[in-house]
Copies of this chain bind each other. A is one copy, B any other.
Amino acid sequence: MTQEEKQAARTRILKTAVSLFARKGYAAVGVREIAAQAEVNISMISYYFNGKVGILAEIVDEFWENYHRHIVKAMDRGETPEIKIHAITGAMVDYVRENKELALVAFHTMPLEIPEIANLKQKSLMKIMGSVQSLIASLGLDINDLQLFSIIGPAIMSLIVTHFRLRDFQAKVFDINFDDAFYERYKIIIATLLLEGVQGLARLPKSNTEKNA
């Protein structure tokens, strides 16, 4: 009871913050709001996280760490590019769907200047770029083509999350049921888009895809 309850406060702060940051953005959320909603004393935030930005740091770190781990694990599974891609996109979708708010906060935070987490952001990006590079290599593209990489890399990374960024909005405006069936189809569509798109790239005449052509 005690052990569980003691941890509960810290966890409650984290979960509440993730949810609020995802909806309003980090800067627009105040510590009072987090504390009130997590039913915790304000000072507990500094006590556990060394201030508001500490929560954000933990969120960003945790997301990219897990995201990277899921991709790497999925990448080991398949033999052909087709299976690999399906495994990876499947893993990405599953993880992001199960940690939607965490993913939104982490993604939303990437392009923002927040000095306190600049190093962490760079570390996370380097790590995730590494796994994307492996992915690109397995798709048969030139791994040394930095330009191509700098285009495909972010594209793959964001393809999945962007859906979740706009999902609630779409659910409200259109009448779409984002259930399990939808996401099974979603995985296939995303994987197909990637696979066929990249294969199309490989078929491009050299003059168009070569660096500084």
Contacts and interface: CB of A to CB of B under 8 A. Distances in A.
A154 B148 contact: no
B208 A188 contact: yes
A200 B193 contact: yes
Interface string A187-202: 0111011111111110
Interface in A6-29: 23-28
B110 A151 contact: no
Interface in A155-178: 155, 157-159, 161-163, 165-170, 173-176
Contacts of A166: 110-111, 125, 153-154
A189 B201 contact: yes
A213 B173 CA distance: 23
B208 A200 contact: no
A43 interface: no
A204 B182 contact: no
A120 interface: no
A174 B166 CA distance: 30
B125 A169 contact: yes
A99 interface: no
A209 interface: yes
Interface string A87-121: 00000000000000000100010111110000001
Interface of A: 23-28, 104, 108, 110-114, 121-122, 125-126, 129, 146-148, 150-155, 157-159, 161-163, 165-170, 173-176, 181-182, 185-186, 188-190, 192-201, 203-204, 208-209, 211-213
